[in-house]
Each structure stands twice: as structure tokens, then as C-alpha cells.
Structure 1
């Protein structure tokens, strides 16, 4: 029986993550030559090059890209197995990489992490905040929080909370331009665009199940919903945003919900992890913490079914 070269696979995964032989060697505490020999050994065994190497750049070959996810899975499962064996003897330690949407991350994730790190001082968190979609496998992310209607994929997803959104504008804007009573009327208004969604069409379901779709245009486009709020309050236009962004302004009367009989497509807050079933104890702890903290946070009336398959 010829065993796989697990060390070489792990070093390959580390080079992919750090995009450098030198950085991988430093992380692993070995020489650059040791890493280089391991990659060459693995390439010889597989009969294919994994990297294109030049004096200035290191890039994956097609074969390398195809094998990178499997290598990262091998490394993650090996680390998780060791940590599970050791966790009974010591408290979990190490780094967890977490990705979250910008506004939700600042308002909710950051406070939750402060409490988590006080409770688990040996665990470090690398928090990535962005409204752009993140490839959590390619970026080496352990946990991602995502607000979306998720398509099927190989990732594991836990639904934490429904997220409601509303079409909103300032009282001043509505006084000057009128209040739309049907989604089709939005085509005649200044509507803000969310650039992380390629299609600028807003869809709705209305009374009696009526469907409506309208292509919106306006003077402001941005990749972050919270950035729309000052222009909304100033009366520049109309936006469709989740409640957790606009609720404070609605309560103060600075923004008004319109088209209340019409509902946007349902979305939810999900917690995503890579497909491997084995995770380090530190990652499991943060998953449990976030799941408890954010269950039904955006919709107290929603029970949320927990893990519901493998979606992205």
C-alpha cells in the first residue's frame, strides 16, 4: 500500500493560501527549500505541474487550481483531527478567519466577537468585512455570514434568521415627487442601485400573489447599503434596504416605508462553512457562539430550521 504524501499536500495547501513559498515556509516554521522540495515531490508523483513559477510571480496551473480545494481540505481535516485529540487537555487556541457583510459586521458581528474573545482568550479572529461575495474556500475562510437567497453548492449552510427589506424614501422626497403605489411606478423615480447585484431589476410579490418586476435607475450606485442612507435622508431618491440598516431612521421618522403591500423576494442570514465535516474546535466554538447570538436576530418571529443541506 502506497500512502499519500500528506506532508506535501499540506504544504501545497499552505502555499496556495499564502501565494508564496517563502510565506508558507515561514508559517510552517520550515525552510523555503523544504517547501519547494515537497511541492516538487508532489508534482512528480502526480505527473503534473501545480504552479507556474517565474522570478516575480507564482500562479496556479489548471491542475493546481483543480487540486487546491482538496489540498486545503486535507490540511484542514488533519488540523481538526489533532485539535480534537488535544482539546480535552487544553482550551482551544489559534486563528479563525471570519467573513461578514460590512454593515451587519460592524453593527452586530464586531460586538459579538468582543464577547467571544473575552470568553475564549486563546482564540484569535481575522474578520473580513465586505458586501462582495467571498469564495470562502479559495480565500481560506473558516466561517462566512451571508445575507442572501442561496443557490445550491458544496458549502454547508445554517440558516439563522429571515431578513426583511423595505422600499424607503424620505418624507421630503415623497412630498416633492409623489408616493408610488405600485412597483411599476418606480421606473419614474430616482432609485439607488446596489452594485454587488448584477441585475438592477427589483422584483415583488403583491396582493393576491401578483408578481411585479421593474428595472430601476437613479443617481447613486454603491456596493454598501448603509452608504445610501445619507442620500436617502437628504431626499435624493428611493432605495430597497434590509430593516437592520434603515430601522433607526424609520423609527425617527427620517425615512418612510412605501409599497407596504408588496414584498421583496425572501432572503435570510446564513452561516456558511467549507464542505469538510471535520473542523477545529476553535471554529466549532465560534460557529456555536454566532449561531446562538444571531438566531432570529433580524426576525424574532422566525424559528429557523438550522442546517438545511449544502448551499452557498
Structure 2
């Protein structure tokens, strides 16, 4: 919400925290922000950021349960699962050119990334999340990155909107604002 607090204009913001494709044709939304590698046909997509998918835990959790040093160690840890992942119940890691897929045991699952990050910050387990989503938790010391030597697929963040002959200035202005915000 800090991002939106910095947006000073007469534009009203209607936020829907949903993990499905937004139907821009419904007329309810002008722009959909999507973290994806699959874009809907018939929409214009402008890349506004790139983020890494990383693994995090709270210092308190790591002190109590130990720090996993390999992805195999995750089998002995409480893991927090994002329900709407394209990989079903698997976590995918890349080590060099090798793709490694594991299925950790979940102790908490949600379709809301913010809820998972908050749960991890409270010591409930290990979470995988886009770096942009956990930035404030990392900056405050509530979460630390673990297993950094295992590269995870990076994700693109897009502002998507309908293809039209005319674009209201508010759309391009807001998208430019997002690009500048994420560049910081």
C-alpha cells in the first residue's frame, strides 16, 4: 500500500487481490498488474519490473529449526505453500543447468502471497516468494533469504490493459509511475 500512498492524483484505485486472470473487458478495471510468464491474448502488456523468486524464513524460525543448506533439507522443514502456482504442489529450483523439482510438506497454504509472507515473518515456516513481495520484510530483518545458491526462475511483472484506439492519459501516467517505482 506504500506504493499507492505515493500516488498523488485524482485517479481512484479499485484493488482486487485475485489470482485469476482479470477480465479487463468487464469494464471494472483499466489495468491489471500480473506476475506471470503467460499473458492473455488480446491485451497490451508493458513490462514494469523483473523479480527473482527466492526462498525466505524468519531469523526466529531458523534459530529454532536450523537453516536448510540444500533443497533436500526442506523435507525436514515447515513449508508455506502458494496454492495458485503453475507447478501444482512442487517447488522448482535451478542449479546450473539442472532443474530440480521437490514436493515439500506444507504446514500452511494460501492463495494470497501477502498472507504467506506475513506467516513466514511470524516464524511459521519457509516461504518462496517474488523478491518484490518480501522487500519490506527483508529490509526490516523479519525475513532473510536462504538457499540463495539455488537459482529460481525469475518472473516478469506486467501492467496489462485492453488494446484500444484511444488510451486515457491516466493509464499511461499510472504505468509510468509503476515503472519508476519498481526501478527504485
Give the direction of change, closer, same or farther, for the CA distance of 1:261–1:294 in structure 2 (3 Å limit). Answer: same
Q: Which has the larger radius of gyration?
A: 1
Instruction: Write out the 4+ residue segments of structure 1 that deviate beyond 3 Å after TM superposition.
Output: 296-300
Is 2:179 the partner of 1:291? Answer: no
**Residue among 35, 43, 49 paired with 1:147:** 35
Alignment correspondent of 1:134:
21
Structure 1 residue 296, shift from structure 2 partner:
6.0
Identify the residue that residue 77 of structure 2 maps to in structure 1.
189
- 1:116–1:289: 8 Å Cα contact kept in structure 2? no
Preserved CA contact (<8 Å) 2:80 2:109: yes
Q: Which has more strand, going by share of residues?
A: 2
Deviations 1:104-162 (A, max 9, x none): xx332x335x4232xxxxxx535132132233245323221111222462322111110
Partner of 2:140: 252
Bigger relative contact order, structure 1 or 2 (CA pairs below 8 A, ≥6 apart): 2
Unaligned runs of 5+ in 2: none
TM-score relative to the length of structure 1: 0.52
Q: For 1:126 and 1:299, locate their aligned partners in 2 and report how far apart those are by CA, in whole Å.
A: 21
TM-score for both structures, normalised by structure 2? 0.83
* Paired position in structure 1 for 2:112: 224
Distance 1:194 1:107, change over 3 A: farther
Does structure 1 residue 204 correspond to structure 2 residue 93? yes
Question: What is the match of residue 111 of structure 1?
Answer: 5
| Structure 1: runs of 5+ lacking an equivalent | 1-105, 118-123, 301-312
Q: CA RMSD in A?
A: 2.4
The superposition leaves residues 279-307 of structure 1 with CA deviations (integer Å, 9 ceiling, x where unpaired) of 3x42xx1222122212264455xxxxxxx
More helix per residue: 1
Residue 219 of structure 1 deviates from its aligned partner by: 1.8
| Alpha-carbon distance in structure 2 between the residues aligned to 1:234 and 1:135 | 31
